[in-house]
Amino acid sequence: ESVMTQTPLSLSVTPGQPASISCKSSQSLLHSSGNTYLHWYLQKPGQSPHLLIYEVSNRFSGVPDRFSGSGSGTDFTLKISRVEVEDVGVYYCMQTTQAPYTFGQGTKLEIK
Amino acid sequence: EVQLVESGGGLVQPGGSLRLSCAASGFAFNGHWMNWVRQAPGKGLEWVAIIKEDGSEKYYVDSVKGRFTISRDNAQKSLHLQMNSLRAEDTAVYYCVRSAVVWSLDMWGQGTMVTVSP
């Protein structure tokens, strides 16, 4: 099982400033297909989670370009170039390279 | 409209059973693997189970193996989770979630709450 570790677990950001979340897996997430199935989700308060980034760096439909993902192997990063008030919530990384699929613990983003 | 709507949650005693359902609409249900993901109160997300498009493959997280069974009815566009021998630690909101072609979970239902308590 791939254990996913996110840091930090919380961060407080001033609107307009950047934010970065790290996600490290205990095993390489490179699949035999050559793809890396590491994804990022945001759960806004009181809502279901929704997909932000799939396969490390691809923004899902409708996701603003201030969100970007990068990384490879076991180390991944989600960056928000300029945080907006609407970005508050809990961010999760998740791997679907191998079953059981696993999530990081979540990173709570608050606005200063 | 593309939609996933869960039902069947409720209060059940430890050791009891419950069957969750998820009604899909607005997309080709039989063209997607489908998942259940749960979230205990105030906690993070935990993937529970996945089923292949035709139901021929199923995978579970270790903590529910032998107790939970995922199934689907493509004719009815529905997904199910039969939960037996329920424990207090199974208390959570259960989400029905679609797998995309690229294996991300790209569509989530609103969730149904399951509470296991005497």
Location of structure tokens 């191998």: A98
**Statement: residue B102 has pLDDT above 90:** no
Query: A24-64, pLDDT tens digit by residue?
Result: 999 999 999 999 999 999 999 999 999 999 999 999 999 99
E-assigned strand segments in A26-63: 38-43, 50-54, 58-59
**Statement: residue B101 has pLDDT above 90:** no
Which residues from chain A sit within 8 angstroms of residue B47, using beta carbons? 94, 100-103
* Secondary-structure breakdown of chain B: helix, strand, coil percentages, each rounded to the nearest 5: 10, 50, 40
Please, are residues A77 and A71 in contact by the beta-carbon 8 Å criterion?
A: yes
Q: What percent of chain A has pLDDT over 90?
A: 100
What CA dihedral angle connects A92, B43, B110 and A107, to 10 degrees? -20
CA angle B83, B3, A44 (to 5 degrees): 85
Residue A104 sits at the chain B interface (C-beta within 8 Å)? yes
- Candidates A32, A43, A44, A48, partner chain B, best to mutate (most B CBs within 10 A): A48
pLDDT at A28: 97
Query: A65-104, pLDDT tens digit by residue?
Result: 999 999 999 999 999 999 999 999 999 999 999 999 999 9
Mean pLDDT of chain B: 97
